[in-house]
């Protein structure tokens, strides 16, 4: 169930469910078989910025990060580069975080040990949808933020959740429409997923090489005032609400059935649609 593998040193390799808000016009679904057989978009360098891959110590989990140009939020005419995870955070990575599978180098061990970790989920966390290679779900914003802190302590690179503006720029990949023209090619939604999440990267990537920016699980982002919100829609949403503008603000009902007192700050018992993707502002030195 949990990610495992040979103990490895931290490796960095450079390589070439109610509907969401703000949903304009529906995108037209396409043939699912065609989408699943499509070739993913290539991942390319952005200027001098190159993709990098981070191997989580103690596991075989590799986190692929791709460079993306985004507008500077207080100056739309200027841009900067961030690195965005190629896929939504999978159980393989989140299990390593929860189960403390990492074995950090001595000079980083104190920082890693200081990161608070979630307790084990009291129910089957993946809801039986699938585990290895599937997106982590029912994750609270705190759980997502602490996973970022853990990755940062392990790697020396500062990982975080994307801002809403960064997330939308990464999701659009230059598309100015309300939603992708071929939605079924790129997204798992209520019309094609049999009401369950699917393994990441089984749909075609967008022009930036990023998979599942819409659908599958919704992704935590930070708002302009420092709060958190879910973006991108999810597997329980109808295709017509899966747009680049789709967003959902958290409510207490997402954890209503949690029997713990106080209720868990790590797991959302009633939000199987809540997941996340990480970003960072710089790449490790080669």
pLDDT of residue 113: 87
pLDDT tens digits, one per residue of 116-147: 999 887 678 899 999 999 999 999 999 999 99
Confirm whether 251 is domain-assigned: yes
**Residue 15 and residue 72: Cα distance in Å, rounded?**
26
Residue 38 has pLDDT above 50, yes or no: no
Does residue 285 belong to any structural domain of this protein? no
- Is residue 167 predicted with pLDDT exceeding 70? yes
pLDDT at 25 exceeding the cut of 70: no
pLDDT at 32 over 60: no
Residue 6 domain flag: no
- pLDDT above 60 for 4: no
**Higher pLDDT among residues 199 and 2, named by residue:** 199
Q: In this structure, is residue 187 part of a structural domain? A: yes
Task: Kindly report whether the peptide bond that precedes residue 32 is cis, defined as omega within 30 degrees of 0.
Answer: no
21 confidence band (pLDDT: 50, 70, 90): low
pLDDT, mean of residues 242-266? 94
| Tens-digit pLDDT profile for residues 210-234 | 999 999 999 999 999 999 999 999 9
Query: Which residues span the domain enclosing 18?
Result: 11-280
What is the per-residue pLDDT for 271? 96
- Domain presence at residue 286: no
Q: In the structure, what pLDDT confidence band is assigned to residue 39 with cuts at 50, 70 and 90?
A: very low
pLDDT at 123: 72
pLDDT-derived band at 162 (thresholds 50, 70, 90) equals very high
Q: Give pLDDT, residue 46.
A: 72
Q: What is the 3-state secondary structure (H, E, C) of the chain?
A: CCCCCCCCCCEEEECCCCCCECCCCCCCCCCHHHHHCCCCCCCCCECCECCEEEECCCCCCEEEEEEEEEEECCEEEEEEEEEEECCCCEHHHHHHHHCCCCCCCHHHHHHHHCCCCCCCCCCCCCCCCCCCCCECCCECHHHHHHHHHHHHHHHCCCEECCEHHHHHHHHHCCCCCCCCCCHHHHCECCCCCCCCCCCCCCCCCCCCCCCCCCECCEEEEECCCCCEEEECCCCCCCHHHCCCCCEECCCHHHHCCCCCCCCCCCECCCCCCEECCCEECCCCCC
Residue 284 has pLDDT above 70, yes or no: yes
150 in any annotated domain: yes
Question: Does the pLDDT at position 263 exceed 80?
Answer: yes
Please determine, for residue 40, whether its predicted confidence score (pLDDT) is greater than 70: no
Question: Could you read off the pLDDT of 79-103 as tens digits, one per residue?
Answer: 999 999 999 999 999 999 999 888 7
Structural domains in the chain (count)? 1
How is residue 215 written in tokens?
A: 């659908």
CATH number at residue 93: 3.90.1580
Q: Is residue 179 part of a domain?
A: yes
124 to each of 137, 202, 220, 267, 269, how far by Cα in Å?
A: 11, 23, 21, 11, 10
pLDDT in tens, 51-61: 999 999 889 99
pLDDT over 60 at 19, yes or no:
no
Q: Across all residues in the chain, what is the average pLDDT?
A: 85
């Amino acid at each position: 169930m949990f990610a495992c593998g040979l103990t490895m040193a931290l490796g960095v390799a450079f390589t070439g469910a109610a509907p969401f808000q703000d949903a304009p016009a529906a995108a037209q679904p396409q043939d699912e078989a065609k989408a699943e057989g499509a070739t993913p978009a290539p991942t390319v360098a952005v200027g001098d910025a190159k993709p990098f891959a981070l191997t989580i110590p103690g596991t075989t989990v590799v986190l692929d990060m791709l460079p993306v140009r985004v507008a500077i939020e207080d100056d739309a005419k200027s841009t900067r580069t961030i690195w965005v995870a190629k896929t939504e955070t999978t159980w393989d990575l989140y299990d390593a975080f929860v189960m403390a599978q990492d074995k950090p180098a001595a000079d980083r061990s104190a920082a890693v040990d200081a990161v608070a970790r979630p307790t084990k989920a009291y129910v089957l966390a993946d809801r039986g949808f699938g585990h290895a290679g599937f997106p982590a779900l029912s994750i609270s914003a705190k759980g997502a933020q602490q996973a970022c802190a853990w990755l940062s302590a392990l790697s020396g690179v500062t990982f975080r959740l994307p801002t809403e503006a960064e997330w939308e720029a990464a999701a659009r990949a230059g598309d100015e429409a309300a939603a992708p023209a071929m939605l079924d090619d790129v997204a798992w939604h209520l019309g094609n997923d049999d009401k369950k999440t699917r393994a990441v990267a089984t749909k075609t990537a967008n022009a930036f090489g990023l998979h599942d920016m819409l659908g599958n699980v919704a992704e935590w982002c930070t708002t302009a005032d420092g709060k958190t919100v879910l973006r991108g829609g999810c597997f329980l949403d109808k295709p017509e609400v899966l747009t680049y503008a789709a967003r959902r603000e958290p409510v207490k009902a997402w954890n209503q059935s949690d029997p713990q007192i106080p209720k868990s700050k790590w797991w959302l018992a009633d939000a199987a649609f809540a997941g996340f993707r990480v970003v960072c502002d710089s790449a490790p030195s080669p």
